[in-house]
Amino acid sequence: MTNDVSFAAPSPGPSAPLTSAPLTSPAVPQPEQRRILRTALPGPRSRQLQRRRDAALPNGLGVTLPVFVERAGGGVLVDVDGNHLIDFASGIAVTSVGASAPAVVTRVREQAARFTHTCFLVTEYDGYVEVAERLNALTPGDHPKRTALFSTGAEAVENAVKIARAATGRPGVVVFDHAYHGRSMMTLAMTAKEVPYKSGFGPFPGEVHRAPYACPLRGPGGPGGVAEQALAALRELLERVGADTVAAVVVEPLQGEGGFVVPAPGFLAGVERIAREHGIVLVADEVQAGMGRTGTVFASEHEGIVPDLVCTAKALGGGLPLAAVTGRAELMDAVAPGGLGGTYAGNPVACAAALGVLEMLADGTLLHRARRIERTVREQLEPLAAELPAVAEVRGRGAMMAVEFVRPGSLEPDAELARAVAARCHAEGVLTLVCGTYGNVIRLLPPLVIPEDLLREGLDVLAASIRSAS
């Protein structure tokens, strides 16, 4: 029996075209898109909050810049002292569409007012289904697919491993040098860098094997190209552990935390070929590089690989916690009913946010912006690599660019210089992040909606900081 309350009609289904979302709306005013320094950073209000934070929070929680944010949007973060910082971090590749994109905010408001949670395992809602349909259509390959939603990147990677194991009946997982896959126990086992992520937290789950990643700057060396060497090492590893014990190869198509490493050409295609040869599930960890960041929706597209499972998170939820595993229907369906889930997995407010993000990605404007950002970054920073021996490389794709620092005349990483450059940028109101196994890489992750003049201004500050620090 129905009563007379009105209810939302189900969404029109996967074939409905997505229209492009407006970038601005009077209902969601954006902060002024300008760098403004009213105080030294951090300002007095941030310092006061930091004292409370230090007394209330454990040491294990790090911070890049101890500034407290009051509002954010476009390419700007406004702190509690009224400073406007240029955002080259996007909350680590999350707010690609901006931190208060109207398409996200209006959907979140509307959804939160209707209901915030049911648990999708208890009663269902159409936003989850629609996000799944969109991801099934967007991910590489036109085979039948399924999507399961989660909350964090680590959870997506963990579940990809569970699905690959269930589908193959094999235990092993192959990962790569410099890889980052998360902070849960299994994903820590898969993450390469010991300090600060892993030290003191072991033992970790077993059956995780590590192969070299094809890093153009640092090898592996030896006869043949970098990709060929890395692939030979992968074959050798599979021979050693027994390829028929390996469920999955998990690879970042462009490494994030490990140093924004674009793999040598041919590497990803080679990994795909080797996985296929041995019936190993190819998992692309697109958590950081996916959802438009590199100028294509997925970084896997740059080499035309078709992963069996794709992990997404970060930018997918537009700032709300949402993650996904999307993959071949026959693999995804290998897990028995009840084997996947989580209380918050695919939360309806996060799904509403994701539909806003997907709407914004649909017309290609943001992908175009990402490619434009790469051109601007290269134009402004590549001359530094030619001029300064401490700048080993300017690299990356789209709006995922980085500068690597070394001791002049060598490949010895210079983490101190990277830290000094970041500190100068921070003092000037430009939020940059350091990354890399050796901590010697400055990475740039601006929101894709950052205005061009603000991007250029931030890059000017970065270039001046590099010149003066090196």
Contacting positions for ligand PLZ (CB under 6 A): 92, 152-154, 157, 180-183, 252, 256-257, 285, 287-288, 313
69 or 92, CB closer to ligand PLZ? 92
| Dist. CA 230–CA 246, nearest whole Å | 18
Q: How many CB atoms lie within 10 A of CB 141?
A: 16
Shortest Å distance, C-beta 82 to ligand PLZ: 28
183 vs 235, beta carbon nearer ligand PLZ: 183
Closer of 178 and 426 to ligand PLZ (Cβ): 178
Nearest distance from residue 154's CB to ligand PLZ, in Å? 3
Query: Nearer to ligand PLZ by C-beta: 252 or 404?
Result: 252
Rounded to 10 degrees, the C-alpha dihedral 287/293/296/298 comes to: 0
> Least distance from C-beta 183 to ligand PLZ, angstroms?
5
With beta carbons less than 8 A apart as the criterion, state whether 300 and 268 touch.
yes
β-pair partners for 172: 246
CB of 314 to ligand PLZ, least distance (A): 6
Residue 180 · residue 252 · CB < 8 Å: yes
Shortest distance in whole angstroms from residue 197 CB to ligand PLZ:
7
**C-beta of 35 vs 314, nearer to ligand PLZ:** 314
Q: Is 190 helix (H, G, I), strand (E, B) or coil?
A: helix
- Least Å distance, CB 285 to ligand PLZ, is 5
Q: Measured from the CB atom, is 152 or 296 closer to ligand PLZ?
A: 152
Smallest gap, in angstroms, from Cβ of residue 409 to ligand PLZ? 32
Distance of alpha carbon 276 from alpha carbon 296, whole angstroms? 24
Query: Which residue, 196 or 221, is less far from ligand PLZ as judged by CB?
Result: 196
Q: Whose Cβ is closer to ligand PLZ: residue 30's or residue 255's?
A: 255
Output the CA torsion sign for 111, 114, 119, 124. Answer: negative
Q: Is 113 left (phi over 0), alpha (psi -120 to 50) or beta?
A: alpha
**Residue closest to 265 by CA, chosen among 253, 257, 274:** 253
Provide Rg for the chain, Cα atoms: 22
Closest approach of Cβ 313 to ligand PLZ, in Å?
A: 5
- Least distance in angstroms from the C-beta of 179 to ligand PLZ: 8
> Closest by alpha carbon to 125, among 115, 133, 136, 139?
115
Residue 31 or 317 having the CB closest to ligand PLZ: 317
Q: Name the residue whose CB lies closest to ligand PLZ.
A: 153
> Which two tokens mark 452?
């061009």
Question: In this complex, which beta carbon is closest to ligand PLZ, that of residue 92 or of residue 119?
Answer: 92
Q: What are phi and psi of 161, to 5 degrees?
A: -65, -45
Residue with tokens 């992040």: 433
Contacts for 381-389: CB closer than 8 Å, 24+ residues apart: 381/459, 381/462, 381/463, 384/463, 384/466, 384/467, 388/466, 388/467, 388/470
CA gap 274, 115 in Å, rounded: 46
DSSP letter for each residue of 118-149: --TTTS--HHHHHHHHHHHHHSS--S-EEEEE
Name the minimum Å distance from CB 319 to ligand PLZ.
Answer: 12
